[in-house]
Amino acid sequence: MGWIILTRSLIKILFFIFFSCSINYAQNNCIECHRKKTGKQAAPVTELQNSIHFENNVLCHNCHGGDPDADTFIAAKGKNTNYIGVPKKEDIQIVCGQCHDKIRQYFAAGPHKEKSKLNCVFCHKNHTVLKASHDLIRIDFCNQCHTHNIEFIDLLKSTLLSSDFSLYNAQSTIAGLAQKDYYSVEFENELKKAYDASREQGQVFHTFDLNEINKKTYIIVSTDEKINSKIEELEKLIRTRKERKLIGIGVVIFLLISAMVLWIYQRNLPLPDYAQQIKK
């Protein structure tokens, strides 16, 4: 029975994946046309499907221009379609900056601005656009020019890893609190500050200015520490309340036992002479 359910689930997943891909192809005639070709003209389609752009529905026309709904090759690349074809190397930052303008500005303020060999696709690739991650900070990329400064590359990477660890720790801590019904808007606001700093750190990273990167790292790490400090205060308060509750219960129990003992004691006391005479 379990295998039948599992098989059905897999079929549904495969159908969903196939159907989703079909929709994307059908909506974009650039992809539909190039996927039928061979060699270099077909390669961009396969590469695009494995990219972060494809996951976010950023397709051919978003970078190259053109009309993805046009029915003919000529119409797709017509004068009024803003088709630019393959961007010139010096224009790649401008093309990417249409969506990533803040990063473009930071990159332009960094040491790589005047390096004709370097642009966005050098690290992120062109059609197989790679998601921004620590894996892009690779010595085999950087040591093509920086063979003498490997320590700096490791320092950059370790700084980002430290920030991500603190952010993950803060997120996990707050998630754990929510499960215990300790949710607090204050905690969520602190976590938002850390998220914002992490996003800005990813942008500032393109300046390769370690001092500026560390400013964002400080915000993230200090936020994690602040959250943990507040949680310690909260847990201390909770422990104090529990201790007081236990003490209160203990006092009540003690008074009840004392009253019972006193009652029993009084029951066993011999009656005074006048009381015995009255009883008789």
Q: How confident is the model at residue 268 (pLDDT cuts 50, 70, 90)?
A: confident
- The predicted structure's pLDDT at residue 264: 84
- The predicted structure's pLDDT at residue 228: 82
- Interhelix angle 101-108/185-204, rounded to 10 degrees, is 50
Q: What is the CA radius of gyration of the chain?
A: 34
- Where do the structural domains in the chain lie, given as residue ranges? 11-131, 134-280
Q: How many CA atoms lie within 13 A of 243 on its CB side?
A: 6
Predicted TM-score (pTM) above 0.75? no
Q: What is the pLDDT of residues 132-185, one digit of tens each?
A: 888 888 877 787 777 777 788 888 888 888 888 888 888 888 887 777 667 677
Task: Report the distance separating Cα 38 and Cα 15, nearest Å.
Answer: 26
Q: How far is CA 228 from CA 63, 196, 211, 222, 238, in A?
A: 44, 19, 25, 10, 15
